[in-house]
A and B are shown apart, each in its own frame.
Chain A
Amino acid sequence: MAKIKLAKSKVDKLVEICKSFDNEGSELINVLHKAQETFGYLPAEVQEIIARELNVSVAHVYGVVTFYSFFSMVPKGEFPISICMGTACYVRGAEKVLEEFKRQLSVPVGETTEDGKFSISCLRCVGACGLAPVVTIGERVYGRVSAGDVADIIKEYQK
């Protein structure tokens, strides 16, 4: 196991999270949810500590983290951009919107811009199909977005 370099306060926090689920291996997904809520993402070190605390292998934790799309091993941007690629949004042109975000920010899906400001991800249906295509940035929802609106949306966050 690699040497743990996380700040002690963070390690303590993780230990506490695991403890709140009785260090029970079957609670792994709940533990990961809580850990991601706290740290924003799940880097290798966090997974190692969780494995140690729940007494399961790191491979098992890694297997679960990479299986579910909700868990991320890289930090998201300050303004995480999610483009809905549900079918309803897709048929109303979500792909063009996604292409435009990728082009304007020069990052592929799943990555964060160098300045750490924006990250792009795709999600499947937020259930606001009446507003298709939908883009969410943080908590904010943008409806009926077209490729032409993308520059203006990005500008809002660049001030």
Chain B
Amino acid sequence: MEKYKMHILICGGTGCRASASEAIQNNLQDAIKAKGLEDEVQVVMTGCFGFCEKGPIVKILPDNTFYVEVKPEDAEELIEEHIIKGRKVMRLLYVDPENKETISDSKHMGFYKKQIRIALRNCGFINPENVDEYIARDGYAALGKCLAEMTPQTVIDEIKESGLRGRGGGGFPTGLKWEFAAKNEADQKYVVCNADEGDPGAFMDRSILEGDPHSVLEAMAICGYTMGADKGVIYIRAEYPLAITRLKVAIKQAREYGLLGNDILGSGFNFDVEMRYGAGAFVCGEETALIHSMEGLRGEPTVKPPFPAESGYNGKPTNVNNVETFANIPVIINKGASWFNKIGSEKSKGTKVFALAGKINNVGLIEVPMGTTLREVIYEIGGGIKDGKKFKAVQTGGPSGGCLTEKHLDTPIDFDNLIAAGSMMGSGGMIVMDEDDCMVSMAKFYLEFTVEESCGKCTPCRVGNKRLHELLDKITLGNGTREDLDLLRNLSTVIKDTSLCGLGQTSPNPVLSTLENFYDEYISHVEDHKCAAGQCKALMQYVIDPELCVGCTLCSRNCPVDCIAGERKEAHIIDASKCIKCGACMEKCKFNAISIQ
């Protein structure tokens, strides 16, 4: 890297690529060429920077200037001004929404200040398609250290001492899991990386694989060394084409460098990695289901025991860990368990990556120490609720999690506290909701997902969730009764207690937690037939306030069913019998004249 004087890093994460970051890269390269600066300035497409809200992001090194919302047509100006003249392009810098100060270094932004990046350490710093850059940031040093200086047992002890727990949702101690797999003797063992990120609204695993694929390969090799496995398999969603491409490149480069394959670093240890593609089934996040899917079968779970550590892939001892869990391993080996276990809370060590999304100002990928409070995450890092609305709930743990409210805002986030509060860590999705979100509809939304994703093997999950969904549907249509609420609660408990795998055991959580925290809202649906948030179509009506309407005709022109009548410069009226309640009029009205009743 030292050859170049300056480096321009462009975010190549999915969000930024969708907003033309590739065109920015091309334009920058063209501008550099036009000025004859090819030997001095290098343009690198990196993994996700995390600050998706402000993407596409372009960062210039060595002066650490962080440009936001860059467009392809800005490329020439960036080269001309910043690179050649050394002047920052002020209009592309981040402006702090509170004090309106311009900030050029990401370190000082509210979004980044509280973050500690361990799993995401290389995302946004290195070119993920160049193994040399990974190596330059201590890459494969941990593998070297394990092979040269440590026995498999001392590696396991180190991971145990670090207190690392599985980041895929379960929170099982990783070191212990490795030990189980190591203790089972067999002629063949497997290390499996679960990259079947199915939780809607969570994209940390994909970002790690896109931004730092080698960290996962290195950790898998270390795991293989501890348990005596020479084969690794990454089970990845087919819907992640960019992550797949980058992993393929990484595997090839690692093999060329002798970091995968036979006799790694001259130690006599063999380990290689191959890939298997998922085909869209949420239940495959469950490890026994995932293993069946790897074998070419329907991804249905089986009863544990036997655990995969005894009999997994092809009936052999198998250790399954999630992407983020693996990404932590090299750092723990390099810096030591005692460094790692000082970060975090008493029972949950280290950091956790969250995908912060929904009605929040700073949507993005964040990594914070365990024990950070929800308030810090939502208000300091997330920048508060969008459009100055009122915070209502935050949903953690995806379809298996629950909704937390105002009263939980000061709860330190860790595995145990979230469970105690009626939710769970899950893979780290964190969706913020405001006053316009109806909690009954939210529960229905998650149940719709579960019903679709239930594999159908066990009755409580297959039939029970369907019934839950029907009840919720009935309530949102205004036909629910108080008895239905009791039924919802009872049925949820039965499903939780009797389902075969993690999917069914957690699927009623969104129902239970909303019943617990937003009972009033359920009551107003069933007793008063009102949806305060204005989301349940059957219970609402759009009306135009004749006092506020100026007759601009914008609403009637945008109405897809032509149900708004009125002359120009006169108040308009909505014909409720024809209205399909799409909300297009309210969205377009510039005078706040349209409301929901």
A residues contacting B by CB (< 8 A) are 25-30, 32-33, 63-64, 67-71, 85-88, 90-93, 96, 99-100, 103-104, 123-132, 134, 141, 143, 146-148, 151
Contacts and interface: CB of A to CB of B under 8 A. Distances in A.
Contacts of B240: 127
B207 A127 contact: yes
A87 B395 contact: yes
27 contacts: A26-B296, A27-B296, A28-B297, A29-B279, A29-B293, A30-B296, A64-B298, A68-B278, A87-B429, A88-B357, A91-B431, A91-B437, A92-B358, A92-B359, A96-B582, A123-B239, A127-B13, A128-B14, A129-B363, A131-B15, A131-B19, A132-B363, A147-B560, A147-B582, A147-B583, A148-B584, A151-B560
A26 B295 contact: yes
B296 A70 contact: no
A127 B277 contact: no
Contacts of A85: 200
B297 A125 contact: no
Nearest to B200: A86
Contacts of B364: 130
A130 B296 contact: no
Given A125-B200, A129-B357, A99 B582 contact: yes
Contacts of A92: 358-359
Contacts of A63: 298
A22 B55 CA distance: 45
Contact of A129 (B201, B296, B298): B201
Contacts of A64: 296-298
A25 B296 contact: yes
B358 A88 contact: yes
A137 to B, nearest CB: 12
Given A86-B201, A88-B358, 19 more contacts: A25-B296, A26-B295, A27-B296, A29-B277, A29-B296, A67-B281, A69-B452, A85-B200, A87-B398, A87-B431, A99-B580, A100-B582, A125-B200, A125-B203, A129-B15, A129-B355, A143-B18, A148-B558, A148-B584
A28 B431 CA distance: 36
A67 B203 contact: no
A145 to B, nearest CB: 12
B250 to A, nearest CB: 19
Nearest to A93: B583
A87 B580 contact: no
> Among A63, A64, A88, A128, which residue has the most Cβ atoms of chain B within 10 A?
A88
Interface string B274-289: 0011111110000000
B238 interface: yes
A68 B429 CA distance: 23
B560 A100 contact: yes
Contacts of B13: 127
A135 to B, nearest CB: 11
Nearest to A84: B200
Interface string B50-74: 0011110000000000000000000
Closest 3 CB pairs of A and B: A130-B52, A68-B279, A88-B357
Interface in B233-258: 238-240
Contacts of B518: none
B280 A70 contact: yes
Contacts of A87: 200-201, 357-358, 395, 398, 429, 431, 445-446
Contacts of A130: 15, 52-55, 357, 363-364
B204 to A, nearest CB: 9
> Among B357, B363, B452, B583, which residue has the most Cβ atoms of chain A within 10 A?
B357
Contacts of B281: 67-69
